[in-house]
Amino acid sequence: MKSFSTGFPAPMTERRRFLAALALLALPLSARAQQRAALSPVPGVPPAPTLVLPDMDDKLVDLARYRGKVVLVNFWATWCPPCRKEFPSLGRVRKLFKPADFEVLAVNVGEDPETAFSFAGATDFPILFDRDSPAMARWRVNGLPSTYVVDRQGRLALRAVGGREFDDPAIVEQIKELLNRGRTR
């Protein structure tokens, strides 16, 4: 290595190497990653753990405020290739439902707002920051990306480990089912 930079973002030469490494990290599963899959039911449908984290503007956002909506909670990082791949589908799926019924919360792990913004830009949904990953621990997340869907009653209904396309018809149908199930109760 030519330098010993510890800062972020890295100098461009290091950035290029980093991006090449990132691409290489993505290679083995990239083909398989394109296979589509639905979300898995969470056994027992337990209450969602607490989630209170700062957003891009450093304002605290509490999952509890969304009670009555179905909420898709996605744990991600900019350096995680499948996270980057699935991220645009978060915005797409959010647009398929009424804001009064459905929300997306994207929980960035370990990074700062500038880094997240440089990748995500301005989003229609909140990006929250779990800098030291205590929320990851509470939610028992065991890999990135991980996603949970919280039902209208604030319970963990669905989950996924690994990348998905959230506007996949199978997943959209699962969300619709949760929305309808909540209405009938």
Partner 1 sequence: MPMSLSLSLIFAFMAMHAGACLAADDLEWRQHATQGGVTLTANPLTAAQRTAFYLARGFTESAIRPYAQACGFSLGMRNAGAGSVHTKLADWRAIGTDGRSVGLRLPVAWDADWARANVLPPARVAFRWAQFQAENSFEAGDWIMGMATLESPLPGSFRIVARYRDDKGSHEIVLHRLSCAHD
Which is closer to partner 1, CB of 69 or CB of 178?
Answer: 178
Which is closer to partner 1, CB of 103 or CB of 149?
Answer: 149
> Which residue from 146, 117, 140, 143 is spatially nearest to 129, judged by alpha carbons?
117
State the minimum distance, in angstroms, from the CB of residue 14 to partner 1. 5
Residues between 45 and 84 that touch partner 1 (CB under 8 A): 77, 79-82
Two tokens, residue 114 = 């500038």
Which is closer to partner 1, CB of 104 or CB of 144?
Answer: 144
Give Cα separations from 34 to 26, 43, 77, 83, 85 (angstroms). Answer: 12, 26, 19, 13, 10
> Which residue from 168, 172, 171, 164 is spatially nearest to 86, judged by alpha carbons?
164
169 binds partner 1 (CB under 8 A): no
Residue 65 is given by DSSP the state G
For partner 1, the binding residues (CB under 8 A) are 1, 3-10, 12, 14-35, 37-40, 77, 79-82, 109-111, 118-119, 131-133, 136, 142-144, 159-164
